[in-house]
């Protein structure tokens, strides 16, 4: 005589509501991190574009000013691109300057400070640091262990150069203010991107979620075997595939700065920015007379009839 192993479905019903809420919270939190990372990168990109525009148009070359200022402007715009590329590598725990997409962007005399260790390891080992001598926490000029991330180094170099061209009276105060605000925005974006990277969802939450999903999938067959009999096997398999798939999606998009297919296309973002900045240097004139000359040499032509109709409808 067989043993009835069926369990009342009401037991799983209440558990299903809890699992649904936890899964929804897990996925929404992970997607918020993904989407926020994209928004912050766009804000940083906009700040770089604005600062490149101000540098290219707002800094003028004077007869009695320092020679080669135009070359300095190009190097400064390259440094702006280097900021984005260095941020990309920093978010991927790739430290230093020995990367192909950084070659040529940094000045030849640029000597980065000691490569910063992973901030992630600094956060993990903070208790060990607290046990060290208290003098290690005092800021000193001869501290050989001091370090700084490459994007912040680049921001300091750009800030010093803006002060230099201001001292030479090559940039007006409003333009200098715009450059300073753009740099501040870039650093703010860098800090927010680090916040996303260094603040993962707590491990205890992920562990408990896996545990209750496993428990739910183990109990589910006993609640359906009486009603669907042998169909319990494919039915429970489909349920397990769905639940664990949603949980895996959250793990995939939680850190959006890696190399996975579901991560942000940081390489493409940097490449598109490079094309835009290169177009500025190669094509965009630096003074108003050049702009008017270009417009007078190529008079405007009326749009085609179809385009005019569209404009009228709008």
pLDDT value of position 232: 81
pLDDT value of position 299: 47
> Which is higher by pLDDT, 187 or 219?
187
pLDDT value of position 9: 59
pLDDT value of position 277: 93
**Contact in structure between 264 and 37 (CB atoms under 8 Å):** yes
Instruction: Of 90-99, 121-130, 136-145, 177-186, give the range with the top mean pLDDT.
Output: 177-186
DSSP 108: T
Percent of the chain with pLDDT over 90: 42
Distance of CA 16 to the CA centre of its chain: 36
**Domain residue spans in the chain?**
24-137+145-205+225-286
- Identify the CA nearest to 82 among candidates 242, 270, 230: 270
Using alpha carbons only, what angle is made at residue 210 by residues 205 and 216, rounded to the nearest 5 degrees? 125
What is the Cα–Cα distance from 1 to 226, expressed in whole angstroms?
Answer: 16
Sort 129 into a burial class: Cβ within 10 Å, 0-12 / 13-18 / 19+. exposed
Confidence tier at 2 by pLDDT (50, 70, 90): low
* CA R_g for the chain: 28
Q: What mean pLDDT value characterizes the chain?
A: 80
The whole model's pTM is what?
Answer: 0.78
Residues ≥6 apart with Cβ < 8 Å to 60: 170, 171, 286, 287
pLDDT at 273 over 90: yes
pLDDT tens digits, one per residue of 45-58: 999 999 999 999 99
What is the Cα–Cα distance from 185 to 204, expressed in whole angstroms?
Answer: 34
**Contact in structure between 256 and 32 (CB atoms under 8 Å):** no
What is the Cα–Cα distance from 274 to 49, expressed in whole angstroms?
Answer: 11
Using alpha carbons only, what angle is made at residue 143 by residues 79 and 94, rounded to the nearest 5 degrees? 40
* Backbone angles phi and psi of 63, in degrees to 5: -65, -45
pLDDT value of position 117: 45
Name the residue with tokens 């209750």: 212
pLDDT at 314 over 70: no
> Which is higher by pLDDT, 2 or 81?
81
Mean pLDDT of 24-43: 94
What is the Cα–Cα distance from 61 to 69, expressed in whole angstroms?
Answer: 6
Helix (H, G, I), strand (E, B) or coil at 174: helix
pLDDT tens digits, one per residue of 129-149: 444 555 555 555 555 556 778
The HSE-up count of residue 139 (CA atoms within 13 Å, CB side) is: 1
Confidence tier at 292 by pLDDT (50, 70, 90): low
What is the Cα–Cα distance from 282 to 272, expressed in whole angstroms?
Answer: 15
pLDDT value of position 127: 44
pLDDT at 126 over 50: no
CA dihedral 251, 253, 255, 261 (to 10 degrees): 110
pLDDT tens digits, one per residue of 180-210: 999 999 999 999 999 999 998 888 988 999 9
Residues ≥6 apart with Cβ < 8 Å to 44: 84, 87, 185, 186, 189, 190, 193
pLDDT at 301 over 50: no
Residues ≥6 apart with Cβ < 8 Å to 3: none
């Amino acid at each position: 005589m067989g043993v009835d192993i069926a369990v009342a479905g009401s037991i799983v019903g209440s558990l299903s509501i809890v699992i649904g809420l936890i899964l929804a919270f897990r996925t929404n939190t992970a997607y918020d991190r993904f989407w926020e990372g994209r928004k912050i990168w766009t804000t940083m990109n906009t700040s770089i574009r604005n600062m490149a525009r101000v540098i290219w148009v707002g800094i003028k070359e004077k007869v009695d000013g320092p020679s080669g200022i135009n070359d300095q402007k190009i190097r400064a715009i390259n440094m702006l691109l280097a900021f984005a590329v260095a941020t990309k590598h920093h978010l991927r725990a790739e430290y230093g300057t020995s990367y192909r997409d950084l070659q040529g962007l940094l000045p030849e005399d640029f000597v980065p400070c000691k490569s910063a260790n992973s901030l992630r390891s600094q956060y993990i080992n903070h208790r060990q640091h607290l046990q060290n001598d208290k003098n290690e926490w005092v800021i000193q000029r001869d501290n050989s262990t001091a370090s700084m991330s490459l994007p912040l180094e680049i921001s300091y170099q750009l800030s010093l150069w803006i002060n230099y061209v201001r001292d030479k009276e090559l940039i007006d105060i409003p333009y200098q203010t715009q450059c300073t605000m753009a740099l501040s925005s870039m650093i703010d974006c860098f800090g927010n991107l680090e916040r996303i990277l260094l603040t993962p969802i707590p491990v205890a939450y992920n562990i408990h979620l896996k545990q209750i999903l496993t428990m739910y999938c183990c109990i589910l067959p006993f609640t359906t075997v009486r009603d669907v009999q042998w169909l319990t096997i494919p039915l429970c398999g489909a349920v397990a595939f769905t639940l664990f798939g949603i949980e895996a999606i959250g793990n995939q998009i939680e850190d959006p700065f890696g190399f996975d297919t579901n991560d942000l296309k940081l390489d493409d973002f940097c490449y598109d920015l490079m094309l835009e900045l290169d177009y500025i240097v190669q094509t965009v004139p630096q003074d108003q007379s050049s702009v008017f000359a270009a417009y007078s040499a190529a008079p405007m032509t009326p749009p085609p009839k179809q385009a005019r109709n569209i404009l009228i409808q709008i």
